[in-house]
Structures are given as C-alpha cells and as structure tokens.
Amino acid sequence: MTSEGFAVIFMNPRGGSDGYDEEFADIRGHYGERDYEDLMEGLDYVIRNYDFIDPNRLGVIGGSYGGFMTNWVITHTDRFRAAITDRSISNWVSFFGASDIGPYFANDQIGGGENRDFWTYLESYTAKSPIMYVKNVKTPLLIIHSLEDYRCWFEQAIQLYTALKYLGKEVRMVVFPGGENHDLSRFGKPNHRIVRLRAIVDWFNEKLKA
C-alpha cells in the first residue's frame, strides 16, 4: 500500500492484541465497544499529529476479527471513503451454527460463556452483529472471501453482500474458489494471493484517489 502512495496506520486496540496482558485482550461480551473507540481515538491522534494524512480520503480494511471490526466501523460511522472486509463475521447468529468453531467460540466471545444456552443470549448475538446495522452504511465496501473458509463461512459474506445490495448500497465482492480457506492471505496459492492484493490496491486506488 505504501508503494502505491498510501499512508498505512496500524492500530493496537483492546481485543485485537495480547501484547499487553490478558485483561487488555479480553473483550468477551463487549465486541464493538472499547475496541471500536480505541480505533477511532487512534485515528484521531494520527490525523492531529501527521499533516500528510487527509481525513477526507480514509480507507479501512481488516480480516477475520478485523473483518468483523471493519463491518462494525462502517455500520457505526461514515468517516471512511472506502472499506474492505476480508474473511469477516457479519452475523453472530448464523456464525454459531455454521462456523467450525461456532458453538464454543461464539458463546465464549459473545454469549454468556462456553457452556451457556445460546437461545438465552440471542439478544446479545443480534446486538453484536454488524448486519443488523447495514442501513447505516454509506461507505463503499469490497468483500473478500474464500468458498472453503469454514472458520468464517462464506454465508457471512453473502449475507452482508445481499443486505447491502438489497438496500441499494455500493458493494463489490471477490470470491476465491474451492481450495482456499481462512488462511488465503498467508498460505493460499500464489496466484490467488496476488489477485487478492491487486483487488485491495485497485479498490483503494479507485475510491481514495479519485
């Protein structure tokens, strides 16, 4: 991205890192709260202190948990001109039943605990699902996903894409074929990894440099 002329900002929000301690990393039951505020406060700091950052040409991108957070960001603020969500979570309710780690991970992270009753905490699953807030989206979104991603299954991407299309929002999707999974960006076929990176660069070039 820097070779294309972009400034890249890396954040270290609560929940997204265990570089401090377990308490810092533990956002169970509180996704989209303090972690989201950390990102926005960090961005504000960068804009205040680095005059080459254009606040009118901001993009946001993330994968996996970062994909969830990208979805959360664009459903809760319109300050970004473009966004890319990669292998993301958009709906915790269906994640519970479709992901290869859904029943225990979703209950642990969103519900009342690993062995709690899913239905008792359904309200929490809904409240923490970005897809419930898609009417707020004003940011053009590129969705990247792999067909054999069983961690964040493809249904997460197609639900988000369908909802945004249904509401007349600007969205595009790049889908990688069978054989690619949640680790595409790290261990995918070299030609697919190139296509993914090119799609990212092209989207931001199109939306942020116009």
- In tens, the pLDDT along 137-182 reads 999 999 999 999 999 999 999 999 999 999 999 999 999 998 999 9
Single pTM value for the model: 0.96
pLDDT tens-digit readout, 1-47: 999 999 999 988 988 777 788 888 899 999 999 999 999 999 999 99
Single-letter residue type at 158: I
Q: Which own/partner pairs from 37-40 qualify as long-range (CB within 8 Å, at least 24 positions apart)?
A: 38/11, 38/12, 38/13, 38/14, 39/11, 39/13, 39/69, 39/73, 40/77
The single residue of 64, 90, 94, 185 carrying the catalytic annotation is 64
64 catalytically annotated = yes
The catalytic residue among 94, 145, 182, 185 is 182
For the chain, the helix, strand and coil percentages under 3-state DSSP, each to the nearest 5: 50, 10, 40
